[in-house]
Amino acid sequence: MSRRTIDIYYDVVSNVLRNSSGARLNQKLYEFVIYKEKPLVRLRLVTDESLTAYTAFDATMTFSAAIDKDFDHNSVLMCKTLNADINRPSDWADADPATGKFSIRIDANTARYAAVLATSEKKTASMLELQAFDVNGDLVGVVRFPFITYNLMDDNGSVPPAATEDYYTKTESDARFVRKTANQQRFKVESNYFRLWNPDAGDFYAIELRGPVGAQTIVVVEGV
């Protein structure tokens, strides 16, 4: 499947999000996920505005990621990513914990996500958290930063059906339009008379068109 790519630069020393140039990111530009979406986060952990790599993690560690709006340990997380979906080689070739680079698959199509957003447009207090564990399974590091979660207006949305062709085939046209046969009569209009073809006489016979004085003219298109 094709995933939307989200590039994030997080300064673990200043605890701020930065853009690709190293400038502190405006809050209005914080990254986000949308309900039912399954994007790929490409996270770069840095230590300054020069985007110097954070090197406290290494490839011997395992990782997990989560997205939620609070710290209620008794509730299910809005989104949860296990180690198997972090730093997959096929997702991002540059991913390497030793240089602070992580690819994280996000799945926002969960019942908990829907329940948390409910009828809200978004949750600006939500955050993305990355946890690191050593070979013994002990927690050795946590990184957490703002990550906005958005809702959908149409929870039942689906791909619309392909548009139908805007023309008819010959068979369809024949079914929709009356085709003249030898038994059908022809007509024409002359002055105030409507002339209808009489096949028995081999000629037209006239039907006078009358109306009150000042009445609107009746327009009849001549046809065969």
- The partner residues of 79 in beta bridges, in order of sequence, read 67
Reading the chain (224 residues) residue by residue, the pLDDT tens digits are 789 999 999 999 999 999 999 999 999 999 999 999 999 999 999 999 999 999 999 999 999 999 999 999 999 999 999 999 999 999 999 999 999 999 999 999 999 999 999 999 999 999 999 999 999 999 999 999 999 999 999 988 665 565 555 556 666 666 655 555 544 555 555 666 656 666 677 666 565 555 555 544 444 444 44
Provide the pLDDT for residue 188.
58
Provide the pLDDT for residue 217.
46
Structure tokens at 82: 């296990």
Provide the pLDDT for residue 155.
85
**CATH classification of 5-150, choosing from 1.10.150, 3.30.70, 2.60.40, 3.40.50?**
2.60.40
Tell if the pTM clears 0.75, that is, is over it.
no
* Cα 187 to Cα 102, 190, 202, 223, 224, distances in angstroms: 81, 10, 13, 6, 6
CA 132 to chain centre: 33
**Encoded amino acid at 162, one letter:** A
Provide the pLDDT for residue 197.
61
At 148 the three-state DSSP class reads strand
Q: Which residue in the block uniquely carries the two structure tokens 């989560």?
A: 66
Instruction: Please give the Cα distance from 115 to 79 (Å, whole number).
Output: 12
Structure tokens at 114: 């829907």
Domain boundaries, the chain: 5-150, 183-224
